[in-house]
Amino acid sequence: MSIDSTAVSNQRPAIEFKSSTFAVPALIINSADLKEVNAKILQKIQQAPEFFKNSPVLLDIHSITTEQLDLKLAELIKLIRGHTLIPIALRGGHTELNDIALKSGLFIQPLQTLVDTDKPKTSAPPLETKKSPPASTDPGHPVALRSPIRTDRRTKDDGNAISRIITSPIRSGQRVYSEGDLIIMSQVSAGAEIMAEGNIHVYGSLRGRALAGVLGKLDSRIFCFDCQAELISIAGNYKVKDDLDPAIQHKPIQIYLQNQALIIKAL
Amino acid sequence: MARIIVVTSGKGGVGKTTTSAAISMGLAKKGHKTAVIDFDVGLRNLDLIMGCERRVIYDLVNVINKEATLNQALIKDKRCDKLFILPASQTRDKDALHLEGVGRILEELSKDFEYIVCDSPAGIEKGAHLAMYFADDAFVVTNPEVSSVRDSDRMLGILASKSRRAENNEEPIREYLLLSRYSPERVRLGEMLSVADVQEILSLNLLGVIPESKSVLNASNSGVPVILDDKSDAGLAYADIIDRYLGINKPHRFIEEEKRSLFNKLFRSK
């Protein structure tokens, strides 16, 4: 948020802080045996050398900490850097390990309170990397702050995405983003924008913009109780208010995609 | 601890300063020690409407820069000894304000005032942000027309996400709707949004409707808060608003057109 706008000069300020989101692969370490880890990293990199070259990674040592294994973190970081990966953050460490990480120039990413659906099984390989889906839109300043870097261990379309429920009105100028479904129990004002990777439900009046399936999920739907929307979009297919049939105004409707066409049906 | 009230709207010219003057005077008249602060640095108006412009020596920016103490800058109202005014600076701009300084002043005032009314400038930039940041209650002044309603809606979003209470995850600011410059006749003619329309768009607790009234302009020009004019409907509307804010249940008025008697209809053209 910038409130220090200087009205007098039109020049761009020398620096600007803006919130932004980007996706980082998480490197999940399940073994404290550095030789084994080294071998596995090498194996992975050989599969796609260009993909891993200078790629930032987030180190997830959650299972090491839970199993209380003795991990030589400083050496691990050195090892990873040696493979042209750039470790930027640590997740799931305890205080001592966090200190080492900070000294090595990594920041500490708190463990997200998401339900871990892919908890590593005992037979799981000691190392896995998963690329999280790219964040296509910058959600600006959603009602609740999201962590600056999202590293999802969820795969796309796994049906376990976290839905968000919002009970207070979404006011003009506010933007809300959900990585799963978005359920609004109140109204969405004109000039507000709600976005979800999954479905959108609005149980009050929808006067703003609603964008479902923003990452391309074609079977996303929008349900609303009182449609007065400025714009509706499913997986990039959109209609503005002028294109909407006046007969559906103020009506409970659902919107879905069929053969690239938006279908609007009364409920 | 004082209760901090911000009078805000987003849009300009809807009656924020008139409202700030009226409600601060109303609260003081009820015996509550009240301070009213003009945050519109550079476009100082509150002192004119309060009729104390000739007694301004120090202002808000002087206190923030520690060039004067609060007691030196506060102007005691001549009509009510419970009311104090902290004027804005006319020679500076809003960049002279900063969060730390405003916080310090409000904290100091909180020690011996019951209510602190912050008169916000228009817009959503620094001045407006600082005026609302520390608030406990917000009086959102709205005119019954679409652009004002839209701006109020935007302001409500900012109140809900960028105030101290929101940032500290405390109980949110209590928001009240004040619908000003309302004319039931023009609503009937379809020239104005009705109370119901505005409430539907903003879904907000209506604290009162202030009718469009000549007495507001007269009061501003003569430097007397309109609430002191107990013959004007706007003055009565503000008195009702104070009562409702303090928890006294008063039915809403000035929403319907005044019923003219048959006699009036026959013998008066208007």
Of B125, B126, B153, the CB nearest to A171: B153
Q: Which residues contact B264 (CB under 8 A, 6 or more apart)?
A: none
Tens of pLDDT, residues B130-168: 999 999 999 999 999 999 999 999 999 999 999 999 999
Stated pTM of the model: 0.68
Q: Which helix (H) or strand (E) holds A4?
A: none
**B165 burial level (CB within 10 Å; 0-12, 13-18, 19+):** middle
- Nearest-CA distance A118 → chain B (Å): 32
- Average pLDDT over all residues of chain B: 93
Q: Is A246 helix (H, G, I), strand (E, B) or coil?
A: helix
SS3 B130: helix
Please report residues of B whose CB lies closer than 8 A to that of A187.
203
- The SS3 assignment for A267 reads coil
Q: Do residue B156 and residue A171 have CB atoms under 8 angstroms apart?
A: yes
The chain A residue lying nearest B154, using CA atoms, is A172
Are A187 and B203 a contacting pair at CB < 8 A? Answer: yes
A173:B154 CB<8 A: yes
Q: Residue A153: which pLDDT band, with cuts at 50, 70 and 90?
A: very low
Q: What confidence category does residue B94 fall into, taking pLDDT thresholds of 50, 70 and 90?
A: confident
Which of the residues A9, A141, A187, A189 would you substitute to probe the B interface, choosing the one with the greatest number of B C-beta atoms within 10 Å? A189
Q: Which residue has the tokens 């609740």?
A: A144
CB contact under 8 A, B161 and A6: no
Q: Is the pLDDT of residue B264 over 80?
A: no
CA-to-CA distance for A261 and A218, rounded, in angstroms?
11
Query: How close, in Å, is residue B27 to chain A by CA atoms?
Result: 30
- Pair A204, A169: CB distance under 8 Å: yes
> Per-residue pLDDT for A136 more than 80?
no
Q: What percent of chain A shows pLDDT beyond 70?
A: 75
- Stretch B227-239: mean pLDDT, rounded? 95
Nearest CB to A190: which of B95, B150, B203?
Answer: B150
Give which of B43, B132, B154, B158 to mutate to test A binding, by max A Cβ within 10 Å: B154
Chain B positions contacting chain A at CB under 8 Å are 93, 95, 125-126, 129, 150-151, 153-154, 156-158, 160-162, 200-201, 203
Q: Does A171 contact B95 at a Cβ distance shorter than 8 Å?
A: no
Residue-by-residue DSSP string for B7-69: EE-SSSSSSHHHHHHHHHHHHHHTT--EEEEE--TTS--HHHHHT-GGG--S-HHHHHTTSS-
Query: What residues of chain B lie within 8 A of the CB of A140, using their CB?
Result: none
Residue A32 has pLDDT above 70, yes or no: yes
Q: Which of B150, B162, B203 is facing A169, going by the closest CB pair?
A: B203
Confidence at residue B27, expressed as pLDDT on a 0 to 100 scale:
97
- A189 CB neighbours in chain B (<8 A) are 153, 157, 201
Note the pLDDT tens digit of each residue in B202-211. 999 999 999 9
Spatial distance between the Cα atoms of B39 and B106, rounded to a whole number of angstroms: 12
Q: Please indicate whether residue B73 or residue A5 has the higher confidence score (pLDDT).
A: B73
Test the B interface: residue of A1, A3, A188, A250 with most B CBs within 10 Å: A3
Residue of B nearest to A172 (CA): B154
Q: Give the ipTM of the model, two decimals please.
A: 0.80
